[in-house]
Copies of this chain bind each other. A is one copy, B any other.
Amino acid sequence: MTITLLTDYGPHDEFVGVCHGVIRKILPDASIVDVTHGISRHDVRHGAISLRNALPYLPVGVHVAIVDPQVGTERRAVAVRCEDGRVLVGPDNGVLSLAWERAGGVAEAFDVTRSQHRLEPVSATFHGRDVFVPVAAHLAAGAELREAGQPLGIDELALLELPGPIVDEDGATAHALLVDGYGNVSLDLTHQHLMELGLTLGERVEIAGPGLSSEAVVVQTFADVAPGEMLLYEDAWGAVAVAVNRGDAAKALGSTRDSEVRIKRR
C-alpha cells in the first residue's frame, strides 16, 4: 500500500529524509509519494486544502499529513479509515478533515497518541518521526487499524472551519484560500458562483485585494491574456483563481492567505 506524506517540514532539513528512513526500516519496499513538504509552517488550513486537492490523484493508501503547531502537547494523534478505504494519519487538529470529506467521510477513527507502533523514546517535538510515520508504515505493512490505537468517536474529531464568500448584486467578496509558488491566488469561489454573477468567458471584472485593485478578464488559461495582464479562471482543482500571465497575482493584489479579495463586475 502506498504511503503519502504531506508536511510543513520544508526542502532544507533532514526531517523528510528521516521519515523516509523510518518507513524503509519498517517496510523496505514501501512505495512513498511526497505530496508536498512546502506547506507554510504551522498553516493547518493550507495543509488541509492541499491534501484535499491532491487526494483524488493519489492511489488509495495510507496518507500522512503533518502540520502540527501543538506537537508534544495534549492534542491527539489520530488514524482514520475513510468510507472509500483510504487511511489518514496525523494530528487531530483539522488537517485531515477536508480530506476525509473528499473520501466519503469517516468510517472509523482511532486515537494513536500512545500507539504500540511509536518509536521509543518519543521526542516532544518530532512526532512525524516518532508517531505518525511509524504508525503509517505499520498500517501500510498490513497491521490492523484497530490495533494501532484506541477507538475514538467520530464526533470527537477536530474539524476545520473555512471562510465563505459573500455574493451580492455587484460581485463577490471572497477569500484567498491558497497562494501557490507562482503567486496564483485560489479563492473560495467556484464556477457556480461565477455563473450566479453572470460572469462568462471574455468578461472584464475589477479585482481588489488588500493592496491594490486591477482589471482582469475571465478566461480559461494564462496565455489567453497578454504577459503582465490579470486573469480570473477556474484552476486545476476546480476553484476560481486569480493569476497574472507570467507574473505574480498575490504580489499584484497584496494578497496573502485568508485576505479578502473583492470581484466586481464592470
The reply on A28 being an interface residue by CB < 8 A is yes
A195 at the interface (CB under 8 A from B): no
Residues on B with beta carbons closer than 8 Å to the beta carbon of A21 = 4, 33, 35, 54, 57-59
> Contact mask A219-251 → B, CB, 8 Å, 1/0?
011111000000001111000000000100000
Whether A24 touches B42, Cβ cut-off 8 Å, given contacts A71-B222, A124-B221, is no
A102 proximity list for chain B (CB < 8 A):
none
- Which residue of chain B is the closest to A119 with respect to CB atoms? B57
- Closest CB of chain B to A237's CB: distance in Å? 8
Number of interface residues, chain A, beta carbon within 8 A = 58
Residue of B nearest to A50 (CB): B14
Looking at A4, A36, A125, the one whose CB has the most chain B CB atoms below 10 A away is A125
Question: Which stretch from A5-13, A82-90, A210-218 is at the chain B interface?
Answer: A5-13
How far apart are A178's CB and chain B's nearest CB, in angstroms? 9
Q: A31-B28, A222-B71, A223-B70 in contact; A54/B125 too (CB < 8 A)?
A: no
| Set of chain B residues within 8 Å of A69, measured between Cβ atoms | 222-223, 246
A6→B17 contact, CB < 8 A: yes
Given contacts A2-B28, A17-B4, A21-B59, contact A123 B182 (CB under 8 A): no
Q: Which 7 residue pairs spanning A and B have beta carbons closest together?
A: A72-B221, A12-B38, A126-B236, A17-B35, A21-B58, A123-B236, A14-B36
